[in-house]
Structure 1
Amino acid sequence: MKIAAIQMVSGTRIEDNLEVAHQLLGQAAAQGAELAVLPEYFCIMGRKDTDKLQFQESLGQGTIQDFLSRSARELGI
């Protein structure tokens, strides 16, 4: 099994971070990765620890979880 450990510099805008993550996941899949691991805070790097709290999602629903699910299906990883 080929595994990709993805590194990225996340900012304060989720939409921008998800776009970059999708590009990097696509590159990993194109290079044969079957599993890709993203950084812990790939989707948001707030200025304060509490910035992340405004983007909390319920289990199984939300923009970030939808992105991960859709990307995995689309890219086959």
Structure 2
Amino acid sequence: MRANNVWLLEAYKRNYSASLTSFFKRLSGYLAASLVVALYGKAGTAIVVLATLVVIDLVMTLSFARLHGEESRA
């Protein structure tokens, strides 16, 4: 199971872009997911889903930026 997660993260890192336009594309996807949750669930849950996705995106952005900085120094 761990090997599958590593493969998934490696694929995400290869396809990931930290540009502002890429962030807005990801944000539109997060908003769409929150809208679906709001339509079929509760508005409070949709806000939690949106906040969680944005926080995860920021954490991954910072960790990938840090990893990229370490790779360029080596």
TM over 0.5: no
TM norm structure 1: 0.37
TM norm structure 2: 0.38
Higher fraction of strand: 1
Which structure has more relative contact order (CA 8 Å, sep 6+)? It is 1
